[in-house]
């Protein structure tokens, strides 16, 4: 059985704060949880076992481009990410980037509210490293 690290739990909990119709950036999500690495956040999202309940498709690159999705940076998965975002009301500019009005920047916090992780939806994976 897969167990979540504390880091991944914090990434997923913070991501639940991004409302439908909006996106955030890998960097903003990293800052939200007190992490200096947008790439580490991307790796946690790549391993997200709770998608789409924990909506990793709502995270984009800092320039508004789509970034990655399901381990891909182009092709079918990126097309699917865009369709998911469009279905939620996210708007795109002609160059394919998310319009700035849809990007939410998240305030920094050392500990996003863990109660946002619905224990029924995410158990038994919520324990940290088998504890």
Q: What gap in Å lies between CA 49 and CA 71, rounded to an integer?
A: 13
- What are 61-78's pLDDT values in tens digits? 999 999 999 888 999 999
Q: Residues, the chain, total?
A: 131
Token pair recorded at residue 70: 């399901």
- The DSSP symbol for 115 reads G
Q: What gap in Å lies between CA 87 and CA 81, rounded to an integer?
A: 10
Residue 17 domain flag? yes
Tokens 């990434």 belong to 11
3-class DSSP string for 14-32: HHCCCCCCCEEEHHHHHHH
Task: Tell me what pLDDT residue 70 has.
Answer: 87
Kindly name the residue from 35, 56, 70, 101 that is annotated as catalytic.
56
Determine the straight-line distance between the first and last CA of the chain, rounded to whole angstroms.
Answer: 13
Q: Are 14 and 50 in contact (CB under 8 A)?
A: no
Residue 54 domain flag? yes
Collapse the DSSP code of 43 into the 3-class scheme (helix H, G, I; strand E, B; otherwise coil) and give the result: helix
User: Could you tell me which residues are beta bridge partners of residue 60?
Assistant: 25
Q: Based on the residue annotation, tell me whether 70 is a catalytic residue of this protein.
A: no
Query: 37 is in which domain, residue-wise?
Result: 6-105
Task: Tell me what pLDDT residue 108 has.
Answer: 75
- What are 78-123's pLDDT values in tens digits? 999 999 999 999 999 999 999 999 999 887 765 544 444 444 445 4
Residue 114 domain flag? no
User: What CATH number is attached to the domain comprising 94?
Assistant: 1.10.10.10
Residue 130 domain flag? no
Residue 129 domain flag? no
Number of domains in the chain: 1
Task: Tell me what pLDDT residue 49 has.
Answer: 92
Radius of gyration, CA atoms only, the chain? 14
Task: Tell me what pLDDT residue 3 has.
Answer: 78
User: Could you tell me which residues are beta bridge partners of residue 92?
Assistant: 98
């Amino acid at each position: 059985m897969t167990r979540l690290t504390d880091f991944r739990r914090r990434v997923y909990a913070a991501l639940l704060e991004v409302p439908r119709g909006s996106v955030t950036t890998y960097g903003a999500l990293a800052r939200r949880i007190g992490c200096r690495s947008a790439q580490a956040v991307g790796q946690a999202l790549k391993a997200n076992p709770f998608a789409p309940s924990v909506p990793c498709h709502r995270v984009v690159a800092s320039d508004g481009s789509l970034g990655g999705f399901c381990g891909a940076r182009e092709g079918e998965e990126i097309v699917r990410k865009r369709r998911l975002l469009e279905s939620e009301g996210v708007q795109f500019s002609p160059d394919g980037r998310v319009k700035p009005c849809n990007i939410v920047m998240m305030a920094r916090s050392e500990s996003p509210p863990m109660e946002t992780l619905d224990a029924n939806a995410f158990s038994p994976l919520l324990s940290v490293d088998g504890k």
